[in-house]
Amino acid sequence: MLSRILSLFTVAGLTVAMAVGADIGETAKAESMNIPAIVMFFIFVAATLGVTYWASKRTKSAKDFYTAGGGITGTQNGTAIAGDYMSAASFLGITGMVYLKGYDGLIFSIGFLVGWPIILFMISEQLRNLGKYTFADVTAYRLKQKQVRILAALGSLSVVILYLIAQMVGAGQLIKILFGLNYEFAVVLVGILMILYVVFGGMLATTWVQIIKAVLLLAGTTFMSIMVMAKFGFSFDALFTRATEIHAQGVAIMSPGGLVSDPISAISLGIALMFGTAGLPHILMRFFTVADAKEARKSVFVATGLIGYFYVLTFIMGFGAIVLVLGDPAGSYLAADGVTLKGMNNMAAVWLAHAVGGDYFLGFISAVAFATILAVVSGLTLAGASAISHDLYANAFATSKVDEKKEMNVSKMATVAIGIAGIVFGIAFEKQNIAFVVALAFTIAASANFPVLFMSIFWKKLTTRGAVVGGYIGLISALMLVILGPGVWVDILGNASAIVPYSFPAVFSMPLAFMAIWFFSVTDKSDDAQRCMDAFDAQDIRCQTGIGADDANTSH
């Protein structure tokens, strides 16, 4: 125990020393070094490492490590879920999209939000009642452990790695622009910090890092939105009028535009965003951190409120950025071409912070944006590590019964491995156009993870064969369709036009998965199929009532 704490301090000290060293090294060449941002960021890092130290003393068992001992309250968990969901992609990406396209940004926000009520009505309590550490506990509840766990782990790890790439590349670019630090250094720093949080503090530290970050992010964006509205006498019409005068697209920004041009794209995007949310492993895992079904549903209520509020703010901020950043009389936020923003168009929210609050507030928002990435990658890494240690190691490949201690150690090693993978991918993908990764993550989540999870909870006749074949068909078709789509086939591979003209192909891959699950279940006449069906009633009773869920530790 003591050695663990000591090593925590050593590594933490090293990180800070490295960072400071790099600060000094970089100062000479990077003139635009943002001192307030760096100071505020290190305050955040110091505070969260403090939380990690506190959490490390309370993280003893595997249950503590994976689920914070199940002792998180509904309100805390809801805030942490909101923290998980309000990633840098949401904060910078959606504000940037509103800034660029106006109304179309709101379409994405709504799609990201409407999955939540569905999760509440169909998934959250069921997960809490049936599962222990990962959503595969639910899908493998009455099916053959090994095959179903491997499928779930592959689905989870695909989503986790894709999301990690997006966050790591975002972190590197953000830090390069905001802090004036070097890209590789930023990626390595994020990787090391997330390994520290997760290895030492487990789910408890990860949860509190999320909560702290969510509160900071909501406070910062609230302030920005109020400042924007105050400039227009709290009149939306005045804000919109001024924005249409400044924006090159004029009044077109007030209505749905080119982003979702044809009906199939619009519907497919809707499906991917709505059902993808219900298949994200790092989100699903959060339902195991609360004590019971009642706290699980409270989590969703709180999360939906906070996320919805946040999306309304991103809309105001996007329009605020059109007026105050794009419309800045001195043009001080624009790149040399006079059209795009300094850095990238995703920086709209950050430059807006400067426009309404000056250097110090810019520093604050930069630090919050970085903290956001840090918190989200921690949640992702924990979910990925659990898939490796709990699903693959303990329940699929171990030849003898695995004790908790061993499983936890594997989980920590997996955390380090995923952290290193994140760093490597972050550096490898620096110059790539990674717009496709989030689309692919949501499509896989909606096409592989969600259908199997949903059918395992609600459909008595689901068999191992149906779940496994259907799950892989969902996973592979999602992958193939995205590769043949505009994000990879055109942007990465350089072909002239996409074979599949849809960025979010879930409208094809998700129904395909459901049909395959159905077909390969009803045609399954094996003994195992009968066993799976016979086991449904007992599963359903536990799912409906939670009876047996309290002693979840002994039932697997």
Which residues contact other proteins (rule: CB under 8 A)?
A: 103, 106-107, 109-111, 113-114, 116-118, 120-122, 125, 236-237, 240-241, 243-244, 251, 254-257, 260, 262-267, 269-270, 274, 294, 297-298, 300-301, 304-305, 308, 311-312, 315, 537-538, 541-542, 544-548
Mark out the alpha helices in 179-235 (DSSP H runs): 183-231
33-56 b/e (C-beta count within 10 Å ≥ 16 → b)? bbebbbebbeebbeebbebbbebb
How many angstroms separate the most distant Cα atoms in the chain? 75
| Residue type, position 113, single letter | L
CA distances from 531 to 63, 295, 441, 464, 527 (A): 29, 33, 33, 10, 6
**Are the CB atoms for 428 and 203 separated by under 8 Å?**
no
**Are the CB atoms for 270 and 440 separated by under 8 Å?**
no
| Choice between 265 and 345, CB closer to other proteins | 265
| Choice between 197 and 310, CB closer to other proteins | 310
Q: Write a three-state SS string for 351-396.
A: HHHHHHHHHHHHHHHHHHHHHHHHHHHHHHHHHHHHHHHHHHHHHH
CB of 509 to other proteins, least distance (A): 18
Q: What residues pair up with 290 in beta bridges, in sequence order?
A: 72
| Choice between 188 and 243, CB closer to other proteins | 243
| Choice between 257 and 501, CB closer to other proteins | 257
CB of 259 to other proteins, least distance (A): 9
| Choice between 98 and 529, CB closer to other proteins | 98
**Are the CB atoms for 82 and 235 separated by under 8 Å?**
no
| Choice between 9 and 121, CB closer to other proteins | 121
| Choice between 263 and 329, CB closer to other proteins | 263
| Choice between 467 and 543, CB closer to other proteins | 543
CB of 99 to other proteins, least distance (A): 16
| Choice between 252 and 476, CB closer to other proteins | 252
CB of 123 to other proteins, least distance (A): 10
CB of 102 to other proteins, least distance (A): 10
CB of 226 to other proteins, least distance (A): 17
Residue 242: exposure state from Cβ atoms within 10 A (0-12, 13-18, ≥19): middle
333-372 b/e (C-beta count within 10 Å ≥ 16 → b)? bbeeeeeebbbebbbbbbbbbbbbbeeebbbbbbbbbbbb
CA distances from 237 to 94, 224, 231, 255, 326 (A): 21, 18, 12, 14, 18
Nearest by Cα to 382 from 172, 213, 214, 194: 194
Rg (CA), the chain: 23
How many Cβ atoms are within 10 Å of 2's Cβ, its own excluded?
Answer: 6
DSSP codes joined into one string, 95-113: HHHHHHHTHHHHHHHHHHH
| Choice between 274 and 373, CB closer to other proteins | 274
CB of 377 to other proteins, least distance (A): 27
What single DSSP character describes residue 72? B
Instruction: Copy the structure tokens of residue 292.
Output: 């019971």
| Choice between 176 and 298, CB closer to other proteins | 298
CA distances from 254 to 101, 107, 249, 257, 556 (A): 9, 12, 10, 9, 54
| Choice between 32 and 554, CB closer to other proteins | 554
CB of 109 to other proteins, least distance (A): 7
What's the CA gap between 250 and 486, in Å, rounded?
27
Residue 476: exposure state from Cβ atoms within 10 A (0-12, 13-18, ≥19): middle
Nearest by Cα to 481 from 516, 507, 445: 507
| Choice between 162 and 446, CB closer to other proteins | 446
CB of 423 to other proteins, least distance (A): 36
* Upper half-sphere CA count for residue 20 (Cβ side, 13 Å): 9
**Are the CB atoms for 533 and 524 separated by under 8 Å?**
no
CB of 260 to other proteins, least distance (A): 6
CB of 502 to other proteins, least distance (A): 13
CB of 231 to other proteins, least distance (A): 16
CB of 36 to other proteins, least distance (A): 33
- Give the contacts of 166 (CB within 8 A, at least 6 positions apart): 89, 434, 437, 438, 441
| Choice between 217 and 278, CB closer to other proteins | 278
CB of 239 to other proteins, least distance (A): 9
